[in-house]
Amino acid sequence: MVVLVMEKVPSSLRGELTRWTLEIKAGVFVGALSAVVRDLLWDRVKWSLRSGGAIMIHSDNSEQGFAIRYWGETSRRIEDFEGLWLVGVEENQA
């Protein structure tokens, strides 16, 4: 399972992501992708971002059962704290 959350990204990128995933809400994409497709899509997302940001959450063999990747300017602060993912709101967003 893969979840992508996009913020301030070009509509062309959002349209491209709908080929492999469902856009369940504006900028939120969900799909069941192979690891190869997931990694290729993530490279495409990073390449296509301008001033926006992206967060990808995908299944992983970890303590929490998932991994998080992020790129660009997002409204959430993502931190790896001793192997556990923590999410917080940026101070200027609160």
User: How do residues 48-58 score in pLDDT, each as one tens digit?
Assistant: 888 889 999 99
pLDDT at 86: 81
Low pLDDT (below 50) residues in the chain = none
Report which of 68, 69, 49, 57 is spatially closest to residue 8, judged by C-alpha positions: 49
Q: What pLDDT does 90 receive?
A: 66
Residue tagged 């080929």 (tokens): 19
The token pair at 37 is 């497709």
3-state secondary structure of 65: coil
- Residues 12-25: pLDDT tens digits? 889 999 999 999 99
SS3 91: helix
pLDDT at 93: 54
* Rounded CA separation 82/38 (Å): 25
Question: How many residues in the chain?
Answer: 94
**What pLDDT is attached to residue 10?**
87
Boundaries of every domain in the chain: 2-93
Q: Which CATH class is domain 2-93?
A: alpha beta
